[in-house]
Amino acid sequence: MTSATTEEFGRLRSLFWPIHRFELKKFFPMLVIYSLIVFNYSILRAAKDALVITAPASGAEAIPFIKVWAILPMAVLLTYIFTRLSNRFHRDKVFYIMMAGFLTFYALFTFVLYPLRDYLHPHEFADRLQASLPKGFSGLVAVFRNWTFTLFYVMSELWGTTIMSVLFWGFANEVTSVKDAKRYYAILGLGANIGTMLAGQLAIILSSEKLYQTISIVQDRWGQSLILLTILVICTGVAAIALYRYLTTKVFKNEELDQHEEEKAELKMGMRKNFAYLAQSRYLIYIAVLVLAYNISLNLIEVVWKDQLRALCPDPADYNAYMGRVLIFIGLTSTIVSAFICGNVIRKYGWTVSALCTPIILLVTGILFFSFLLFNHIPSIGIVAAWLGASPLSLCVFFGAMQNCFSRAGKFTFFDATKEIAFIPLSRESKLKGKAAIDGVGSRLGKSGGSFVHQCLLMVFGSVSLSTPYVAVILALVFVGWIAAVKGLGHLFAEVSDETRPTRANTPKTTYAEASS
């Protein structure tokens, strides 16, 4: 907490709500929009895992193949579509088109593709294919066998990348200065936490046996849960669109937004040009490394944990309910970090210290999880599990869930806030092209990179559990590169950021050029 912030708002208010009253008409709609988007992200995250991991002849080993062979190409395609739409339409229309496309797909899947899954999934051909291939290819066969579930998984993953990272944060960075972001973004994280906790609670309720016995819409308990969850996603998505329209038409001055669009029109986007532009900038490369490192490390750990979780919860409704409880704890943890730690650390200690918090959180919790997983055969572990009235498997899943809670909490607070703040002082061209390349494809490359590692290990060892020790070693190397990139970017950010600049429109492009050289 800086002395300036304390003097401006008072000690207590500067800790919890450093927002001026006149800023509420802009900030509060942004907070609600972000909460709704994260709510959908959390609902979809739990549902996609339950669908794919508990599908027939599937498991956690299918995830690395999905992220390399399905999500990465779709991320490239969606980035291409986004750049074409951005070159042709006003930013607001791009938001509406992309949101409508995602919501339409979720409705189509739930009410058409899922009920017809037994007719659409080629189980017999997949069985013959599996019989002719080594065991390490079982995940790839599962991707093909349950292709509609794979498509749902892909579109749910890309909601986070396209809607949350590219569209919402791109808009937020356009209308926020560095000085305001240090006050705004930690509180936006609180909105994300509320959305996550609500999503977790509703996932538990809508997947419960009690609700199914009370209200039976269809004969399939999981199918009913999916219908109710999809209706929630569509309703909240429509609400986010309505709030966005209010924000852009009633709150911000039309001439201001038109000026930004005219400036953007001069910067025609193209995928090859965007990546070429990124490759020429050391500053943007550092941001890309942060995004890659986070997604690689998270994916490496999550696949191992979800493999254990499937063994504990083979039923999709039970799996979804467990993920709902995890979401609640993620929200609670993130809320505590956002309210008491994140914003104050950013304001008091600066960007570099704040950005280092996320890799340190993942490193410490990852060590705890892998230590328990690799040494759970030790007799003392069995004694502890018996004393707690739990099996070694349930304890292992618990520690993995705890690791996931802290990792996601770090992402929703320190990582998102510092990453987005790093974009703000750049020129408009840098933000537009760099963010499209990094958030549109870079994050997917990170997850696909982690999945490619898992694929190679699965080909050699045949299962996730046997390859776990090697995953731990690779993970340690990723953390070293991540921390080095944070320190490098921290030096450049200190050079280009100017907290006295009142608006983003005054950002000189020469400042970015100095940082890129």
Residue 502: pLDDT band (50, 70, 90) is: very low
Residue 16: pLDDT band (50, 70, 90) is: low
Q: Are 354 and 417 in contact (CB under 8 A)?
A: yes
Q: What number of residues does the chain have? A: 517
Q: Is the residue at 159 inside a domain? A: yes
Q: Is the residue at 3 inside a domain? A: no
- pLDDT for 32: 94
- pLDDT for 511: 38
Q: Is the residue at 445 inside a domain? A: yes
- pLDDT for 133: 87
Q: Is the residue at 10 inside a domain? A: no
CA neighbor of 306 nearest in space, from 75, 40, 51 = 51
Distance (Å, whole) CA 334 – CA 233: 22
Q: Is the residue at 18 inside a domain? A: no
Distance (Å, whole) CA 106 – CA 230: 7
Among the ranges given (71-75, 240-244, 501-505), the one the predictor scored with the smallest mean pLDDT:
501-505
For residue 395, pLDDT over 90 is answered with no
CA neighbor of 193 nearest in space, from 309, 334, 291 = 334
Q: Are 69 and 250 in contact (CB under 8 A)?
A: no
The conformational region for residue 326 under phi > 0 = left, psi -120 to 50 = alpha, else beta, is alpha
- CB neighbourhood size of 209 (10 A): 11
Among the ranges given (218-232, 254-268, 292-306), the one the predictor scored with the smallest mean pLDDT:
254-268
- Retrieve residue 508's tokens: 């000189």
Distance (Å, whole) CA 228 – CA 43: 11
**Helix 392-410 with 282-312: angle, nearest 10 deg:** 150
Question: If you average pLDDT over residues 453-479, what whole number do you get?
Answer: 85
- Predicted confidence (pLDDT) per residue in 127-140, tens digit: 999 999 888 888 89
Q: Which residue has the tokens 């779709």?
A: 74
Question: If you average pLDDT over residues 79-107, what whole number do you get?
Answer: 90
Distance (Å, whole) CA 178 – CA 497: 7
- pLDDT for 408: 86
Distance (Å, whole) CA 464 – CA 322: 21
Query: What separation in angstroms does the CA of 242 have from each of 104, 233, 252, 466?
Result: 16, 14, 15, 49
Residue 15: pLDDT band (50, 70, 90) is: low
Looking at every residue in the chain, the average pLDDT score rounds to 83
- pLDDT for 509: 38
Torsion of CA 230, 235, 236, 240, to 10 degrees: 130
Q: Which residue has the tokens 């017999």?
A: 124
Top pLDDT among 103 and 86 is at: 103
For residue 3, pLDDT over 60 is answered with no
- Retrieve residue 292's tokens: 């890659």
- pLDDT for 87: 81
Number of folded domains that form the chain: 1
- Predicted confidence (pLDDT) per residue in 330-357, tens digit: 889 888 887 788 878 888 888 999 999 9
- DSSP code of residue 120: H
- pLDDT for 4: 55
Q: Are 374 and 468 in contact (CB under 8 A)?
A: yes
- Predicted confidence (pLDDT) per residue in 55-70, tens digit: 988 988 898 889 888 9
Phi first, then psi, for residue 124 (nearest 5°) are: -65, -45
For residue 262, pLDDT over 60 is answered with no
Residue 381 one-letter amino acid: I
Distance (Å, whole) CA 495 – CA 492: 5
- pLDDT for 290: 93
Residue 238: give the domain boundaries. Answer: 27-516
- pLDDT for 334: 84
Handedness of CA 131, 132, 133, 139 (dihedral sign): negative
Distance (Å, whole) CA 355 – CA 346: 9
What is the helix, strand, coil percentage profile of the chain, to 5? 85, 0, 15
Top pLDDT among 251 and 229 is at: 229
The Cβ-side half-sphere exposure at 459, using a 13 Å CA radius, reads 9
For residue 257, pLDDT over 60 is answered with no
Residue 273: pLDDT band (50, 70, 90) is: low
Top pLDDT among 112 and 214 is at: 112
Top pLDDT among 514 and 379 is at: 379
Top pLDDT among 455 and 476 is at: 476
Q: Is the residue at 290 inside a domain? A: yes
Give Dmax over CA atoms of the chain in angstroms. 71
Phi first, then psi, for residue 308 (nearest 5°) are: -70, -40
Phi first, then psi, for residue 315 (nearest 5°) are: -80, 135
Question: If you average pLDDT over residues 383-411, what whole number do you get?
Answer: 81
For residue 153, pLDDT over 60 is answered with yes
Q: Is the residue at 19 inside a domain? A: no
Q: What is the pTM of this model?
A: 0.78
Q: Is the residue at 8 inside a domain? A: no
- pLDDT for 253: 61
Torsion of CA 33, 327, 334, 154, to 10 degrees: -60
- Retrieve residue 511's tokens: 């400042």
- DSSP code of residue 505: G
Handedness of CA 188, 189, 191, 195 (dihedral sign): positive
With a CB cutoff of 8 Å and minimum separation 6, the contacts of 119 are none
Distance (Å, whole) CA 57 – CA 138: 8
Question: If you average pLDDT over residues 8-31, what whole number do you get?
Answer: 78
CATH number at residue 247: 1.20.1250.20
